[in-house]
Each structure stands twice: as structure tokens, then as C-alpha cells.
């Protein structure tokens, strides 16, 4: 196998025993990028020269006996995380020429851990989308079927990992934007507890929902990445000073005696039969491992889509008000009045989906409607959180499908925003409740499209997610199969 096809932990062992070098790993990754990036389009910006310089520095550190958690490992960064001296576009025209003056906390942690940053990945504009079709820089295609979407909004990161164009990647998750593309691309994706990973330097979409997490080739790699990025950050007001365990130590433990909740609200009409069969296969594995699957109820699940599409657009409306063409970003040409310049810059700078959500959010926050919409949605959100608190009193983790359907065809849902929004129906609840969720590949459809199983756990119980996902992964062949690009 080529180095770009291996996992973090496999490459770490090879770097330590001298059977490979960081520059050779980087070379393998860029060779793969040269071969398939034209078909997939995972990246907005590639950093080849800087990556080889970092790889050479990694090799020097290894020779000197200094090896950090990610020394010499090529990683990709979603293009909504600030990276000093590098464009940070958020997939939008309004930021196409913006270069960040500082590193996001997670990017700094990646560098401090010795990672080799390969480039910035494509995404739905401002993370608003479920298919990576709304990017100003063009669509990303699913490596398993180039006529299908990779999911979104972290579709570039998921596709890059699946296509072996990096070893691991960072994404962000506001309503499923790590987990849904992980499922569609056949990789592992984890959304941590809200406050577990710093959002400092993450360009905001919906501040009470956004969270950064890893996309990797297997569960152990996910734990390695989470070890690096988790922890308190005094620069970020919602960062929680909770102890950070060694998440890698949870991989490989058994789950005998566990109670796994199966919420009846997530197994309804409309789920693709192949998706249902794959999740039922995971239930059987869980029981074979000595755990018990039991039916539970999350009674406010039916309100998730409505809650989310009030809260998220409202916060987006507020967060995106700063893009006015004055201080930075795209500015429309013309000699008109200041207000005209604002209107023209925002009209030309934002895409259709972003403008749709800004308008929805502005309406929900407007005088006379705030109490009826945003305030009411926030109140129901607390009821949903209590559903989860109650459920975790009787079970260790919850198992659900990640998406009701596998990856859909490019263009299939672009003219029907509601159908696009419903594709995240099983992932929105974790963001609204602030709990962590992980997706692990669990099978394939009859058309050879990946399916991912989603596990959820209580606040700051990412260790449990690593444990159960790792236990299931050992009995699933899905993580070992790669797309035949």
C-alpha cells in the first residue's frame, strides 16, 4: 500500500521505526491529489510548498527524537477555520480574497502537534448546506460515485479523507456537517460536545450550534485527532474547562453489559431499506458483543427541523451582518450611496442559500416575531435537551441512522430546499442538545454507496463514543474498503 492509503497510527509506527519519512508521506499524498483531485475537487487551496517544508521539519524532529502526536501526518483543514497567511474563504465569493492574520486555536494545535497541513478543503458556502453544492468555488463529488454528492457542509474534508488525498481532516458541524458527509463518504466523523473544542478562529455560522471535529479513516485515528484538538481555551467564551481524558485509551475496550438506546422516532417510514438493514446489522453486532439494544423515546424529535431552521438562520443573520464590503471581503464597484454599496456587495457576494437563510433569520428576529419564533424555538430546544438527559439515565449510548438515504445525485435536491433540509433530520438533534455524536461506516447499499451508523452519548462522554464505535468497527469490514477512483 502507498503511504497515503494508511492511517495515522500506521504511519506513526513507520515514522518511528524509520521505514518511511514525512517527506515521502507528503509526496504520496500530493501524487494522489494530482491523480484524482481534478475529478473530486476536495480542495479550495493547496499548500504544497509549505507542506513539504513542514514535512522536512518533521523528519529533522524525528531524527532528533522529538515526536509529537501528529508529527509528519498530512491533514486537511476545512476552509472556515482561520489559517495565518492563507486564504480562508468559507466557500464564498464575499471572502474569496480574504487572508487570515492569525491561526484558529485548532489549527495552532495541529501545528504544535507536528501535523503537515496539506490545504483548505471545499465546503458549502458559510457551512450552509448538506451537499457541498453551494460553494462559490464549485461542487465536490463523492469519491464512491462521481455523480453523487459527498454530503455537506464538510464535504471537501470527507471526500479528501475517503479518496486518500490526506490522512485526516478537520470539519465543522452545525447540524450534521461532519457526520452526514462521513456517512456518505464511508469515513469516521465525530462532533464533540459543545464547548469541548475551541471555536476561536472558526468563522461563525450559528454560534450556539457550531463545533469543530475530526474526519478520519478509522476510529483510533479519530481518538488521536480528538486528543490534539480537545481542551479549554481562554480565548473562547463557550469553551468548557473540563478534564480531557486520553481518548485513544477507549479504543479497543469491550462494551459487554452496556445498554444501547434505539429511539423509535428515528426508525420511521421513508428510510432507505439498505440504510435500515445496515443499522439493523449494527444492532446485531452490539448484541453479539454482550450489550443490550433497547427501545427508547426522544419525544420532541419531530420538532428538530423546525427548531433548527429558526435558531440557525437567526444566528447566521446576526453573524453574517459583519460582511458589508467595508472592512474586508468582497466590495461591489460603483459610486452610489453607502447603503447601495452594502446592498450590492451582499447581493453579489452571497450565494442563494446563504441569502435565503439570512432572510429567514432576519424575519424570525424582527420586532413582533422574536417571541413567536426564536424565543419559542429556544424553549422547545430545552425540552429536546431534557429528552436526551432522560434517555442517558437508562442507556450508555444511543444508536441511530445518520441519514435517511445514502448519497443522492448532484442536483437532485437543489431546487427543493425542504428536501435538502430533511436530509439532516437525524443529525440536527445532537447540535441542538449539545451532546457528542460519532459516525462509523457500517455497510453499503446495493449500489455500493457507503452507510454510516451514528452513536450519541451524554455531554463530555466522547470516550464512550470511541469505545462503542471501536468495538463495532472491529466487526465491520466497511472501514477497510476504499473507493475505486
What phi-psi label fits residue 148: left (phi over 0), alpha (psi between -120 and 50 degrees) or beta? beta
286: preceding bond cis by omega (within 30 degrees): no
Spans of all domains in the chain:
3-256
pLDDT of residue 75: 98
87 in Cβ contact with 98 (< 8 Å): yes
pLDDT score of 61 more than 80:
yes
Mean per-residue pLDDT for 218-224?
98
pLDDT score of 478 more than 70:
no
pLDDT score of 192 more than 90:
yes
Query: Which residues are catalytically annotated?
Result: 78, 153, 177
pLDDT tens for 443-467 read: 999 999 999 999 999 999 999 999 9
What CATH code would you report for 3-256?
A: 3.90.1300.10
pLDDT score of 294 more than 90:
yes
pLDDT score of 473 more than 70:
yes
357 in Cβ contact with 310 (< 8 Å): no
pLDDT of residue 336: 75
Mean residue pLDDT of the chain comes to 96
Mean per-residue pLDDT for 260-285?
95
Task: Write the DSSP symbol of residue 87.
Answer: B
201 in Cβ contact with 105 (< 8 Å): yes
Q: 375-402 as b/e, with b when 16 or more CB fall inside 10 Å? A: eebeebbeebbebbeebbeebbbbbbbb
| pLDDT band (50, 70, 90) for residue 268 | confident
pLDDT score of 390 more than 80:
yes
Mean per-residue pLDDT for 224-228?
98
pLDDT of residue 485: 83
pLDDT tens for 62-81 read: 999 999 999 999 999 999 99
Could you tell me which of 145, 4, 16, 126 has the C-alpha nearest to residue 71? 16
Helices (H), 350-427: 352-365, 376-391, 417-422
pLDDT score of 479 more than 80:
no
pLDDT tens for 310-367 read: 999 999 999 999 999 888 899 988 767 888 899 999 999 999 999 999 999 999 999 8
Could you tell me which of 142, 174, 127 has the C-alpha nearest to residue 42? 142
Q: What are the counts of helices (DSSP H) followed by strands (DSSP E) for the chain?
A: 15, 11
Q: Please enumerate in sequence order all residues whose Cβ is within 8 A of that of 314, keeping only pairs 6 or more positions apart, or say none.
A: 206, 360, 361, 364, 365, 373, 374
> How far apart, in Å, are the Cα atoms of 480 and each of 252, 280, 438, 450, 474?
17, 20, 18, 12, 10
Amino acid at each position: 500500500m502507498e503511504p497515503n492509503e494508511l492511517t495515522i497510527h500506521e504511519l506513526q509506527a513507520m515514522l518511528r521505526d524509520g521505514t518511511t519519512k514525512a517527506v515521502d508521506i507528503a509526496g504520496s499524498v500530493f501524487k494522489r491529489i494530482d491523480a484524482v483531485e481534478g475529478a473530486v475537487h476536495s480542495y479550495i487551496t493547496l499548500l504544497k510548498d509549505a507542506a513539504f517544508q513542514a514535512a522536512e521539519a518533521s523528519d529533522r524532529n524525528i531524527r532528533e527524537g522529538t515526536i509529537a502526536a501528529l508529527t509528519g501526518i498530512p491533514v486537511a483543514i476545512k476552509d472556515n477555520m482561520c489559517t495565518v497567511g492563507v486564504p480562508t474563504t468559507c466557500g464564498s465569493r464575499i471572502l474569496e480574497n480574504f487572508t487570515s492574520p492569525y491561526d484558529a486555536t485548532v489549527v495552532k494545535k495541529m501545528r504544535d502537534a507536528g501535523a503537515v497541513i496539506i490545504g483548505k478543503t471545499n465546503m458549502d458556502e458559510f457551512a450552509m448546506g448538506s451537499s457541498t453544492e453551494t460553494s462559490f468555488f464549485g461542487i465536490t463529488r463523492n469519491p464512491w460515485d462521481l455523480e453523487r454528492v459527498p454530503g455537506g457542509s464538510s464535504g471537501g474534508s470527507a471526500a479528501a479523507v475517503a479518496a486518500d488525498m490526506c490522512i485526516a481532516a478537520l470539519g465543522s458541524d452545525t447540524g450534521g456537517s461532519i457526520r452526514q458527509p462521513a456517512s456518505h463518504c464511508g469515513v469516521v466523523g465525530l462532533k464533540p460536545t459543545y464547548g469541548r473544542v475551541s471555536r476561536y478562529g472558526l468563522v461563525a455560522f450559528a454560534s450556539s450550534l457550531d463545533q469543530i471535529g475530526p474526519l478520519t479513516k478509522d476510529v483510533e485515528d479519530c481518538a488521536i485527532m480528538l486528543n490534539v484538538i480537545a481542551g479549554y481555551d481562554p480565548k473562547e467564551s463557550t469553551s468548557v474547562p473540563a478534564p480531557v481524558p486520553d481518548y485513544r485509551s477507549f479504543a479497543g475496550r469491550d462494551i459487554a453489559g452496556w445498554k444501547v438506546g434505539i429511539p423509535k422516532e428515528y426508525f420511521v417510514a421513508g428510510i432507505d431499506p439498505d440504510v435500515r438493514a445496515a443499522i439493523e446489522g449494527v444492532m446485531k453486532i452490539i448484541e453479539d458483543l454482550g450489550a443490550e439494544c433497547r427501545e427508547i423515546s426522544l419525544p420532541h424529535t419531530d420538532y428538530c427541523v423546525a427548531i433548527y431552521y429558526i435558531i440557525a438562520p437567526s444566528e447566521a443573520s446576526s453573524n453574517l451582518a459583519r460582511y458589508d464590503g467595508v472592512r474586508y471581503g468582497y466590495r461591489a464597484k460603483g459610486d452610489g450611496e453607502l447603503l447601495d454599496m452594502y446592498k450590492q456587495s451582499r447581493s453579489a457576494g452571497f450565494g442563494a442559500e446563504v441569502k435565503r437563510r439570512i432572510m429567514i433569520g432576519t424575519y424570525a428576529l424582527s420586532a413582533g416575531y422574536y417571541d413567536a419564533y426564536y424565543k419559542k424555538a429556544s424553549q422547545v430546544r430545552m425540552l429536546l435537551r431534557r429528552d436526551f438527559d432522560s434517555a442517558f439515565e437508562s442507556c450508555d449510548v444511543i444508536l441511530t441512522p445518520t441519514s435517511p438515504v445514502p448519497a443522492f445525485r448532484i442536483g437532485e435536491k437543489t431546487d427543493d430546499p425542504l428536501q435538502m433540509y430533511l436530509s439532516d433530520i437525524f443529525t440536527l438533534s445532537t447540535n441542538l442538545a449539545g451532546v457528542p455524536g460519532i459516525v462509523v461506516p457500517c455497510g453499503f447499499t446495493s449500489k455500493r454507496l457507503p452507510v454510516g451508523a451514528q452513536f450519541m452519548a451524554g455531554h463530555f462522554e466522547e470516550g464512550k463514543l470511541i469505545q462503542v464505535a471501536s468495538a463495532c468497527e472491529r466487526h465491520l469490514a466497511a472501514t477497510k474498503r476504499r473507493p475505486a477512483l
